[in-house]
Structure 1
Amino acid sequence: AFTGHTGRFVCSTAPAGCGWFAAGCDNHSLLLWTKDSPAPAAAIPLYSRRITACSAVPGGDLLAAGFQDGTIRIYRAGKGDLVKEYKGHKKTITSCTFAPDGSRLGTVSWDGTTRLWRVPEGTIVRTIDPHTGGITSLAGPAGTLVVTTTGDGMARVIDTQDGSIIRTIDLYTPSVRATAISGDGRFFACAGADSSLRIWNLHDGGLAGVSERFSTSLRCLAFLPDSSGLVAGGWDGTCRLFSLPGATHIRTLRGHTSNITCCALSGNGNLLVTGSNDTTIRLWRIGTGDGGDACRVLRYFRSEVRAVTLSPDMTTLAAGDAEGKIHLFSLPYGAMQEDAGTFPPIPGKITALTITPDGCILAAGYDTGTCALFSLVDRTLISTIPAHTGAVTGLAITDEGKTLVTTGEDGICVMHTLPARPFLLHAGIGELTSMDVPGQDPAGKDRSEPDPFYRALLSARFHAEIGICPVTDNDGWYDIQVVG
């Protein structure tokens, strides 16, 4: 137990490779401890300033502190000396973090801006403008690009590599309810409060098509994988299919008895999943010539279904409800996975779900502003992220699976680095086959071939989910550990 504090903790940081950690208290103090002593090793007086965030350079001695008045101060952790004070934000600093090499500091504030500072000079490298009116939806990715929409009827195309805004587009509607990006990255669609659907060219911002106006608002969107069409769930419980790029209405699916809140399409475009306030999920066959009849209705919920997402290999459906519970179903028949109830509960209502491209991690957003990362290998909680001060309105994971993008009602779009993880392999019925890997076998035969790691994974065919840890090279052979 560490002692020395007399107030309530409001922030903390434990930089890798430093041997110490720091915590800020609401009694205007910043304390540092080492693992060897319960008493503080140093105390940095903040006088009348109220600290709200802190961060340290991994393996270094620089410590950043953000304050309620919008200023940031850089200290030497060993002596507590003030190195520099940064000014630019107009409201409370809510978060700050150093680049791994300590050359940059990123800060987020209640003024809605995100700033990147050069350390230690304190010059501003980049400022990401605020979204006015709160971010209402997030779509993507298309490569490294995502699209955010706001309550003021604007869309922003953002590059997740550096957080820069590539383009701002006026959507000609007072409020956007939902947005989606086509699989080929050519189009994005938005559904507005005026009950219409608009299709836009992603790369030049031009309007490609406008649908007729309907008697109900459209609340969720999903593109067909070949980008030839679009599905839109409505507040009247119907689901409409449109052709592209003209946004021509071609078909309506009926079955839900209340508002459709979320939808998702399988990778082959044949299975449509819709969730509703009527506490059911419906699985629809589309593009198979059977009239679009619902092939199955899932009635496992006690409250409204708020979010649905499909695993990349289309074997698992994840759904979240208004009670904050996550349910997993096996596809294509929708049988509930019995061990799904082992997910640790997180306070709040679920607002968004997404799964990493490798199928290992399920990310969940909540109306409390928290984002939780769960392992789909062993159903454990990996971490929780206090991402926003308002409800999470959207989640997206970049194609390489390394970055999680979150948006919130606080008007901020945040990029998070996802943790390293084992691979999750879904394979069909079959037997274990050759685990051929590169290098030299004991007989000295060269077995090198391109992309060997994935060849080894794909050659293992089990009638199960197999979690495989990162492999290690051992004299030309690879050790693979089955963990799930």
Structure 2
Amino acid sequence: LKGHHSRVYCLAFSPSGQQLVSGCNGNDKTVRLWDTISGDTLFVMDGHIGDVKSVAFSPSAAQIASASYDTTVRLWDSQTGRGIFILQGHNGPVMSITYSTDGLLLVSGSMDETIRFWDPRTGEPGFVWSPAFGGVRSLAYSPDGHTLASGHSDGGLRLWHAGSGEQGPVLHGHSDEVTGIAFSPTGQWIASSSDDGTVRLWGGSTGIQVSILTGHDDQVCCVAFSPDGSQIASATYFKVRLWEVSSSLLSVKSQSRPGPAWKVTYSFDCRTVLSVDGHGTVQKRDVKSGASESFPLQRLDLQLITARAFSPDGKQLATGVEDFSILLWDIPSGAPGPILRGHTNGLCSLAYSPSGRHLASASSDGSVRLWDLRDTEQSFLVAEFEGRVDAVAFSPSGHDLVFDSFSGTTVNVFDLESRTLASFKGLTGQWNTVFAYSPHGQQLAIGTFDKSIHLWDLQSKTPNVVLNAHYGPVYCITYSPCARWIASSGSSDTVQLWHQQPGEK
């Protein structure tokens, strides 16, 4: 396709794939609409006085948006090529634009460190977010429209609740500006590109880094998933690379075993430690001798495990996998058992009741479900929220089930006997990542993405101690049997040990 007179910086296909819009830098600074079948230029849209940094089609394809270094966003009629609105408000170059999945909002990100929302039907400004984490280089909505991801010049990715503006996880890993973000078609994965020369793959529901794709020898300027989600395309200014998603997931490295251990527990008799990694390999280690044996779970078909839990007696393993189902496995044979279906998005957390009779599941589809393992055909819908649920846990008595909601400021307690739900507010942190009850059941420890642990008094239903020490999200918490000590670990590769009474390390 020839017509631009300088370097083409950005491209976007129409939803039908029959049209392509391009934005140009240098002396050109135009937006062009192309017919992808004939290759003809349909319209040349002229108006920006700075480099065009981002272009996007509305979901209906009736409108085209362009963002520029001149601090403006322009909206164009795709049927006539005429300008509709000039959106002004940013004080710095606008680097990224995206439409909400329903087309009712247009979002722009700028190097002025703000994210602005606009009504594309009227051109009127809406909310302004000022996260102050460096310039906003890239934006993307999740397919369900519940989450907005932003990539920043400080190397971080931020996930936001699209409706409330609540900030969720901060995904750390890149060492330079995040230039591109893409959700997989199901929303299960997030791919990011960076000026550090890498592409990184993250769990869409957990925010956990799954893989680092290396091979580019220059800054990576953009990233995209194929329509079926099987491939990732990434580009520098000179090369385009294609990555098989299944292969990239299996490239996760560990020093001692093929894949990190995502769940670990003691057997019921305390003689054995059981662990499982993200690809379905279970390891048994004798506590006294240190001898270990590993075995893969049968018929996993290379599905990545997104959530896992061992039964209290260590004889069963529950895994949430990428087709949104829960698979039960016999330990130690690794033979598959029943498949639990009901969730419509990725599994975030699983928990067995102390008796082992029930299994609770939390999902990025916003629901919490309770399964009776004597009859796995149906589940009881405990609660349903807008946005995902990240953590779920049973009380030591098995009487209560506790879980979070997307806002991260509420603790929800479900009484299994009366089937009633109570919610308690008081947390001020970001999304909750893990719950742990004290052995006596009077205290709840809550780990969050903002690096803190909140100790919650269950009699007064209020948080009374906040522990701060981790340098990243807290992913695991456990109490000692005497309840005097709390151990925690997170993304910072450290384990912290706290004395329970004063809350000191």
TM-score band (shorter)?
Answer: 0.3 to 0.5
TM-score by length of 1: 0.48
TM-score (norm 2): 0.46
Q: Which has the higher contact order (CA 8 A, sep 6+)?
A: 1
